Structures are given as C-alpha cells and as structure tokens.
C-alpha cells in the first residue's frame, strides 16, 4: 500500500511490515523521468505483487485436530487446529504473478527500469 502523505510504500513480508520511501509512478511517467534526465531506457517491466494485497491466511490452511477439554470455566469446547502452508494457493499465485510479469502491458504493481546515461 502506498501512503502518499508519508511518501512511502508499506510492504508486508512474512508477518513484518517495511516502510520504503516511494512515490507512485506510471510507466509513462518513468519513461518521461528517464528522458528528462538524459537516460535511455534499456528495459522496463513491472513486477506483480498479488501476494502483497492478499491477507496471509489465504496462503495457509487450518486443519482441525480435536476439541480441547471442557472445563467449568468454559461453557464451550475450544477447537484445536494446526496451521499448514497452502502450497496449491501459493503455486496458483505464482502462476498469476508470472503472467503479469511477462505481460507487455506492464500490469504489475512495481516498475523496474534499467537504463544508460547518454554520452554528450
């Protein structure tokens, strides 16, 4: 998520949040910035980020194990679950991300650009 007021990108990775100085640009704006500064773009593509907008629990599965013991303090039994990695969801997400990354329409959320300084 981009916070325009703080000019930072909030990136969630492995249950941690990182704030990175950023400003949202379009691909056309990046092209204009390169040209205005005497740079020639060699390659430009976008990096998909579907996983950054999904809640972490989509990528895990809760497996019911048993019910906890009923005590006088509780009127209901508590379910005991185990959390496992949802590899099929991760694989499907990786395929979507790969298609976005290879798209000529630059459909990813992050722009990656490489260029050269023109000799004068």
CA–CA separation, 115 and 42 (whole Å):
5
Residue pLDDT, tens place only, 15-31: 888 888 877 788 888 88
What parts of the chain have a pLDDT lower than 50?
none
Q: Domain boundaries in the chain?
A: 2-117
Per-residue DSSP letter, 68: P
CB atoms within 10 A of CB 100: 19
């Amino acid at each position: 998520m981009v916070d325009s007021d703080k000019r930072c990108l909030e990136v969630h990775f492995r249950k941690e949040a990182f704030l990175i100085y950023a400003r949202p640009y379009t691909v056309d704006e990046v092209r204009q910035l390169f040209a205005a500064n005497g740079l020639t773009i060699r390659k430009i593509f976008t990096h998909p980020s579907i996983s950054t907008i999904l809640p972490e629990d989509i990528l895990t599965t809760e497996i019911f194990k048993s019910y906890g013991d009923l005590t006088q303090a509780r009127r209901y039994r508590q379910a005991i679950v185990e959390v496992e990695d949802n590899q099929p969801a991760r694989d499907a997400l990786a395929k979507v991300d790969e298609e976005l990354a290879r798209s000529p329409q630059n459909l990813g959320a992050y722009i990656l650009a490489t260029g050269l300084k023109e000799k004068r």
